[in-house]
Amino acid sequence: MDAPYSADGRYFTRVGTSNKQMAASELATMIVERDRARNPWDSLPSGRTIDDVDETAVREFVEMGKTTGRIGDGPADAASVLKRLGMIAANGTLTNAGAVMFCRSPLQYPRMKLGLLAGNDKLDIFDLQQEGLPLIQLLKKAEFFVISNIRRRFVFGEPGMQRLEIPEIPREAVREAIANALCHRDYTTGTAVEVNVYMDFVEVVSPGLFPDGDSPENHLEGGDGGLKQRNPGIAQALFRSGMIEQYGTGIPRIKRYCDTEGVKFSYKQTVNTTVIRFNRPGAQVIEELPSGAESTKKAPELEGAFDLAEATAMRIAQKNGKVTKRELMEEAGVGRTKATGTLKKLAEKGSLVWVGRNSRDPYQYYRLPDVD
């Protein structure tokens, strides 16, 4: 469709060899879309000042960028970094991209919801967290939430070598799906990205659809949409940090990671969201999402699956930084013997680490292992 033109107080556009009169709604939509293309949401002033910036988030970004070779030497204070990134608006406040990347969101407007569900629906919820961290910290938190709440198998090498923990869904695929959701979502909706761990699958729900003329299928076939990005400032910052690669490669990369491990991956677009689903190996999901990205490889058997008490212990440890026998007894509704056995089993697996002076220490507890 060509650019509109006016004649006798009406607007027309050229379609092929004929002129088509435009309805008022069509004209308004075209004007809005063109304005968004010229002035993306993430380039607009946010109203937040440099004083709102999380300095830790800026330092982490700079260190990550230097490690990947995408950020050179230079002043690393918040004002200098955001200025180099073009995240200071003309009025002196941060752009929306700067606010999302380096500021916490207000409590009433969380950027992400993390859910651990008892089944394959949202009726019974083990855990629900609402987060408003700066973007890179948020991505890492969500990735850790998923990996901590799915099954893992353990691979032991030569004596003295560190064991490997292999999650049932590739960590790289999980990270890519969450990064894509945070990078390319529609921030004007005011809703949060959702990352939900169900009994048989994991879903990443991103507000907004693919732009007109683009689709997940197009990316799987090797295209990049040929269109401008929804949030180019955010995308560029995540690229420079090393959290994402070239635009348009996210879905093919997810497919490659999943195919390698024999994990089914699928996607769908609802009325106003884009959903990525990873089926957990051994899943008994009845309803399958349409997808061109399903693998026929058989998934490996997994060791170290968590039962209900173990899952509860891991959730408490993730939420509070540690878990005690009493906390597990109260939360899971189990006796002392079951709680003691559960925590010892998790420590033997390496999922938790015991801290205390001896077995009778009243202050002993279990914590999550250090992450390299």
158, two tokens: 């030569």
Kindly give the residue spans of alpha helices, DSSP state H, lying in the chain: 24-38, 55-68, 78-84, 96-102, 135-148, 171-184, 216-220, 232-241, 250-261, 308-320, 325-332, 336-349
Q: Is the dihedral of CA 224, 226, 231, 232 positive or negative?
A: positive
Domain 112-279 sits in CATH 3.30.565.60: yes
Q: Supply the pLDDT for residue 292.
A: 44
- CA 221 to chain CA centroid, Å, is 23
DSSP secondary structure letters along 19-68? EEEPPHHHHHHHHHHHHHHHS-GGGSB-S--GGGS-HHHHHHHHHHHHHH
Q: Which residues are registered as beta bridge partners of 117?
A: 125
Task: Determine which of 14-18, 129-133, 191-195, 200-204 has the lowest per-residue pLDDT on average.
Answer: 14-18
Q: What is the DSSP letter of 88?
A: B
Q: Is 132 exposed, middle or buried (0-12, 13-18, 19+ CB in 10 A)?
A: middle
Q: What is the DSSP letter of 95?
A: B
Contacts of 347 (CB under 8 A, 6+ apart): 353, 354, 366
Q: What gap in Å lies between CA 308 and CA 250, rounded to an integer?
A: 34
Domain borders along the chain are 5-38, 50-102, 112-279, 308-367
Of 1.10.10.10, 3.40.50.300, 3.20.20.100, 2.40.50.140, which CATH number belongs to 308-367?
Answer: 1.10.10.10
Q: What is the tens place of the pLDDT at every residue in 289-321?
A: 444 444 433 444 444 455 678 878 888 888 888
Same topology for domains 112-279 and 308-367, yes or no? no
Q: Averaging pLDDT over each range in 32-41, 82-91, 351-360, which range is the top one?
A: 82-91
- Model confidence at 126, pLDDT cuts 50, 70, 90, reads confident
Q: What gap in Å lies between CA 168 and CA 164, rounded to an integer?
A: 13
Q: What gap in Å lies between CA 161 and CA 155, rounded to an integer?
A: 11
- Model confidence at 332, pLDDT cuts 50, 70, 90, reads confident
Q: Is the dihedral of CA 319, 324, 330, 333 positive or negative?
A: positive
Q: What percent of the chain has pLDDT over 70?
A: 74
Evaluate if residue 216 carries a pLDDT over 70. Answer: no
Amino acid at position 149, single letter: N
Evaluate if residue 351 carries a pLDDT over 60. Answer: yes
**In which region does residue 345 sit, left (phi positive, over 0), alpha (psi from -120 to 50) or beta (all else)?**
alpha
- Model confidence at 197, pLDDT cuts 50, 70, 90, reads very high
Evaluate if residue 25 carries a pLDDT over 60. Answer: no
Q: What gap in Å lies between CA 71 and CA 80, rounded to an integer?
A: 13
